[in-house]
A and B are shown apart, each in its own frame.
Chain A
Amino acid sequence: MKILLTAALFVFCSGCSSLGVEPWERDVLAREDMQLTSDAAEAATDDHIYFSKEASSGGRGFGGGGCGCN
């Protein structure tokens, strides 16, 4: 599992330097709706709901724990 993941990250990153935009092309990326987590409160709510109803949690960040509901 770990080896596979390291390999995946490596492949992912080796292509990085040719990707991306110049600083003045960040108009769209700077928008709030283009942030990876655009609604922190909603994300936290969902993490908490699914933490207490399913066997998986987190992934995006640290996931929704700290509750006796699971």
Chain B
Amino acid sequence: MGSPCEVLSEAKTEAAADEITSVAASEAWRIEDKFSRYRADNVVDRINSAEGACVEVDEETARLLDFAVRLHSLSNGMFDITSGILRRVWTFDGGSLVPSEEEVRQVLGGVGWHKARWDRPVLQLQAGVEIDFGGIGKEYAVDRAVMQLREMTDTPCLVNFGGDLAVTGPPRHRPAWSIGIDGSGLGNADNVIKLSDGALATSGDSRRFIEKDGIRYSHVLDPHTGWPVRDAAASITVAADTCTQAGMLSTLAMLRGGGAEAFLSEQNEQYWCRR
């Protein structure tokens, strides 16, 4: 998942805690192995190296693709799983390296869901186009792990994959789990949220930016232009029934730039935004 993952459980014995942790961990590894674009020989690798050929995918991948398509239309194209290749020219490491217009234009040629033909269960991408489930995978893995834990045990658990988290229910003797949100990345919480049920997901990472000539470029890229979204929040945390919903809402809000708060308020969501 590319970030620290943890499972908190109120298991009564070490063996029970081990079992809970291993169920969550194996689900995380399964999803990582299957959908990471950094791994060879998985479904994403087959799709991205097809060079324009058709690829037939399994049911789970098809559902993720359906979901991505739905989000693409809900966001008017701002959420696009083909936009990952923009990272080849944008490196958000706190430095000052801004790519040239020409570099961005070149790589933008491979971006856009309209360059894909999705006819379940067959996906065909134009040559040079790649997909990346990085924007969905972590939240999806949290929900999958929580679903399995709910079926397996009554023990209250909290599954946290790199800051995107969900709980199976309230802890035994307290009304809620206390979750600190470290929006600044400085190691101290800006807000503490009491979560009894449901999920929290955070988009944004205030350490990932480029600053050049007094202009700060956020790491949220607009797939239409290939350039960072203007006035993006430093971080947005959303509470929702599932981690996937929370994660997508925070991502969509991020893509709205300066309109993030208005968007989330309009959707009647609980959120914490740091600018």
Direct contact of A and B (CB under 8 A): yes
Q: Does B88 contact A (CB under 8 A)?
A: no
**Which size bracket describes the interface of A in this complex?**
under 10
Please provide the 7 A-B residue pairs with the shortest distance between their CB atoms, ordered closest to farther.
A27-B173, A24-B10, A27-B172, A27-B174, A30-B174, A28-B173, A30-B173
A28–B173 Cα gap in the complex (Å)? 8
The number of chain B residues with a CB under 8 A from chain A is 4
Which residue of chain A lies nearest to B10 when distances are taken between CB atoms in the complex? A24
Contact with B along A9-30 (1 / 0, CB 8 A): 0000000000000001001101
Contact with B along A26-54 (1 / 0, CB 8 A): 01101000000000000000000000000
A27–B175 Cα gap in the complex (Å)? 11
Chain A residues closer than 8 Å to B174, beta-carbon distance: 27, 30
Q: List 7 A-B contacts (CB under 8 A).
A: A24-B10, A27-B172, A27-B173, A27-B174, A28-B173, A30-B173, A30-B174
Which residue of chain A lies nearest to B12 when distances are taken between CB atoms in the complex? A24
Chain B residues closer than 8 Å to A27, beta-carbon distance: 172-174
A27–B156 Cα gap in the complex (Å)? 14
The B151-178 residues at the A interface (CB cut-off 8 A) are: 172-174
Chain A residues closer than 8 Å to B10, beta-carbon distance: 24
A24–B13 Cα gap in the complex (Å)? 11
A24–B8 Cα gap in the complex (Å)? 11
Nearest CB of B to A28, in Å:
8
Chain B residues closer than 8 Å to A30, beta-carbon distance: 173-174
A27–B173 Cα gap in the complex (Å)? 6
A57–B174 Cα gap in the complex (Å)? 36
A30–B10 Cα gap in the complex (Å)? 16
Which residue of chain B lies nearest to A26 when distances are taken between CB atoms in the complex? B173
Nearest CB of A to B194, in Å:
14
Nearest CB of B to A29, in Å:
10
Chain A residues closer than 8 Å to B173, beta-carbon distance: 27-28, 30
Which residue of chain B lies nearest to A28 when distances are taken between CB atoms in the complex? B173
Chain B residues closer than 8 Å to A28, beta-carbon distance: 173
Question: Considering residues B10, B172, B173, B174, which has the most beta carbons from chain A within 10 angstroms of its beta carbon?
Answer: B173
A12–B172 Cα gap in the complex (Å)? 33
Nearest CB of A to B3, in Å:
25
A24–B172 Cα gap in the complex (Å)? 11
